[in-house]
Every structure is written in structure tokens, then in C-alpha cells.
């Protein structure tokens, strides 16, 4: 990737998407592909959004920033299990007294309604 193309991405990083930058970059550097722009934008933009190396701690940090809307629950886990338990306050307040349990995991989601 030419340094000039990288400069265009860097200058527009915060307010442009890779798709929006492709045409702008290809006007000056026609041999640069959309895939190259996307890869460079993704790598450069990590400084804007990536807060942790691992997904669960990052998700927990983000959820705790919205503590007015989200409850994060500390639930004991079995050995070798990773989990993040949280609830949306607006959803739970509307379902209070009607739902016994709601669960989601990597393979399925389930809920049990009180009848």
C-alpha cells in the first residue's frame, strides 16, 4: 500500500468507512484494491475501538459503562467455563413476574415463561 493511500485512510479514520474511502483512494492510486483499504482501515482503527485483547473482558468493560441501562451479574462458574452474565434493565422491568429464566449460549437461546 502506498504511503499516500495510508495517509488518506489515517486522515479519515474516525469519520469514514472503508467502502467510502475506496473510491477516494483509487482516484489517486488505482491499483489499490478495496480489500487492501479495508484491511488497512481495520488495523488502523483498532486504536479507536479495541480496549482489550480478549472478548469477554472487553464486553464486560463496555457493559459496565452503560450501568444505567445494564446490570452485569457476577455468577460463579464451573472450572474451565467462561461466561458473562448481564441483563437489560428496561427489558427485565417489563417482564418482571412473567419470566422465570432466560439464557443464551454459543449454540442456543432459551427462555421459560411463568404460566
> 5-25 pLDDT, tens per residue?
999 999 999 999 999 999 999
| Cα 102 from Cα 113, distance rounded (Å) | 9
| Cα 110 from Cα 101, distance rounded (Å) | 8
* Matching residue, cell 479495508: 38
Phi, psi of 86 (to 5 degrees): -150, 160
* Matching residue, cell 439464557: 103
- The listed range with the strongest mean pLDDT (28-32, 45-49, 96-100) is 28-32
CA 86 centroid distance within chain:
15
- Considering only CA atoms, which of 4, 69, 90, 72 is closest in space to residue 40? 4
pTM score, whole prediction: 0.54
- DSSP letter for 105, please: -
Amino acid at each position: 500500500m502506498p504511503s499516500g493511500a495510508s495517509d488518506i485512510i489515517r486522515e479519515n479514520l474516525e469519520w469514514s468507512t472503508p467502502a467510502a474511502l475506496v473510491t477516494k483512494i483509487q482516484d489517486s492510486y488505482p491499483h489499490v484494491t478495496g480489500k487492501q483499504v479495508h484491511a488497512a482501515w481495520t488495523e488502523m482503527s483498532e486504536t479507536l475501538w479495541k480496549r482489550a485483547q480478549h472478548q469477554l473482558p472487553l464486553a464486560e468493560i463496555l457493559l459496565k459503562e452503560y450501568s444505567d441501562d445494564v446490570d452485569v451479574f457476577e455468577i460463579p462458574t464451573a472450572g474451565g467455563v467462561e461466561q458473562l452474565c448481564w441483563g437489560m434493565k428496561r427489558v427485565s422491568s417489563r417482564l418482571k413476574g412473567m419470566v422465570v429464566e432466560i439464557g443464551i449460549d454459543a449454540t442456543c437461546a432459551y427462555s421459560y415463561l411463568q404460566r
